[in-house]
C-alpha cells in the first residue's frame, strides 16, 4: 500500500507500522510512494523498498511476469465484487451410449455472456477462479418403451464422480416424460472442470429437445439447461 508520508516511509520497519499512515490503493496518486518486498530475498532479511507509480508502470512494460501477477491480483479483486457466472443450454437430442454406459449432458449454446465459466468438449464446465459455485440444471428426459425405467443423474469433478451426488427418478409408461432439475454446491479452483453425468438401464431413455411447437406457437424446449453462479 502507498505511504502518504515519505519521511515515515524511509523509517519504515516491521516493528513500527502506523496504520493511519496507510491509504487504500484506490486513492493512490502519482506523488505517492509504494513500499514493496523483494520475494527473492529470504523472509528474515527482506527489507521494504520504495517505488513510485512511474516505477510500477516501467515494471509493467519490462517485466511480463510482473504484469501477469498484477493482472491476476486485479482480476481476483474484481471477482470478489463481481462473481463468475454462466448460463448455457443445448438444442440437440442426447441419446444414451448404452445400458451400462456413463453419459454426459452437453450444452451447445451460451444463453448469455458467460464471465469466468467456459465449456470444453461440450460437456466440461471449467471455472477460472477459486470459489464456491451453485450449479443448477434441468434436463428434459423422455422414453419410448413400455413400462417404467429409472434414470440416475450425478456430478463429476475433474473426471472423478462426486460421492453422494447421485439422484434417481423414474420415467413412467410408454412415451413417458420427466424433468430432472436440482442444484448442487461445489467448490472449484482455477482450471477445475465439472460435468453432469447420467445413465439408464434402457437405451430408450434420451434427453430430448423439441422445436417448432405449435397450437399454440410457443418456445422451443432445450434438452439441457445449466447455470453456474459463484456465491463465495
Is there a single domain that holds both residue 91 and residue 178? Answer: yes
Residue 5 above 50 pLDDT?
Answer: no
Examine the domain organization and report whether 113 and 188 are in the same domain: yes
Residue 193 sits in the same domain as residue 96 = yes
Q: Name the average pLDDT for the chain.
A: 81
194 shares its domain with 165: yes
CA 222 distance to own-chain centroid: 22
151-187 tens-digit pLDDT: 999 999 999 999 999 999 999 998 899 999 999 999 9
The band of 10, judged by pLDDT with boundaries at 50, 70 and 90, is: very low
Summarize pLDDT for 201-210 with one digit per residue, the tens.
999 999 999 9
pLDDT in tens, 26-57: 565 656 665 555 555 555 555 556 666 666 66
Of the three residues 81, 116, 149, the one that is the final residue of a domain is 81
Look at residues 149, 145, 142, 138 and name the one whose alpha carbon lies nearest to residue 105.
138
Q: Does residue 197 register a pLDDT over 60?
A: yes
Distance CA 138, CA 182 (A): 7
Confidence at 124, pLDDT banded by 50, 70, 90? very high
pLDDT at 82: 73
* Number of domains composing the chain: 2
Q: Note whether 113 and 166 are same-domain residues.
A: yes
| Domain region containing 61 | 2-81
What are the cell numbers at 171?
A: 420415467
Give Rg (Cα) of the chain.
26
* Torsion sign across C-alpha atoms 68, 69, 73, 76: positive
Of 81, 96, 118, the residue that ends a domain is 81
Of 81, 99, 125, the residue at which a domain comes to its end is: 81
Amino acid at each position: 500500500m502507498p505511504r502518504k508520508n515519505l519521511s515515515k516511509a524511509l523509517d519504515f520497519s516491521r516493528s513500527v507500522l502506523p496504520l493511519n499512515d496507510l491509504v487504500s490503493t484506490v486513492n493512490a496518486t502519482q506523488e505517492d510512494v509504494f513500499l514493496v518486498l523483494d520475494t527473492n530475498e529470504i523472509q528474515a532479511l527482506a527489507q521494504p523498498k520504495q517505488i513510485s507509480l512511474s516505477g510500477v508502470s516501467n515494471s509493467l512494460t519490462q517485466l511480463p511476469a510482473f504484469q501477469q501477477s498484477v493482472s491476476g491480483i486485479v482480476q481476483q479483486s474484481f471477482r470478489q465484487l463481481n462473481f463468475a457466472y454462466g448460463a448455457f443450454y443445448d438444442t440437440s437430442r442426447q441419446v444414451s451410449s448404452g445400458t451400462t454406459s456413463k453419459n454426459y449432458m452437453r450444452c451447445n449454446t451460451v444463453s448469455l455472456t458467460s464471465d469466468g465459466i467456459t465449456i470444453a468438449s461440450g460437456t466440461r464446465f471449467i471455472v477460472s477462479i477459486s470459489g464456491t459455485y451453485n450449479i443448477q440444471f434441468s434436463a428434459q428426459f423422455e422414453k419410448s418403451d413400455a413400462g417404467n425405467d429409472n434414470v440416475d443423474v450425478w456430478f463429476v469433478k475433474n473426471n472423478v464422480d462426486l460421492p453422494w451426488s447421485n439422484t434417481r427418478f423414474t420415467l413412467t409408461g410408454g412415451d413417458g416424460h420427466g424433468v430432472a432439475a436440482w442444484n448442487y454446491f461445489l467448490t472449484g479452483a482455477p482450471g477445475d472442470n465439472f460435468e453432469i453425468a447420467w445413465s439408464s438401464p434402457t437405451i430408450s431413455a434420451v434427453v430430448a429437445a423439441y422445436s417448432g411447437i405449435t397450437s399454440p406457437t410457443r418456445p422451443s424446449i432445450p434438452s439441457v439447461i445449466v447455470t453456474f453462479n459463484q456465491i463465495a
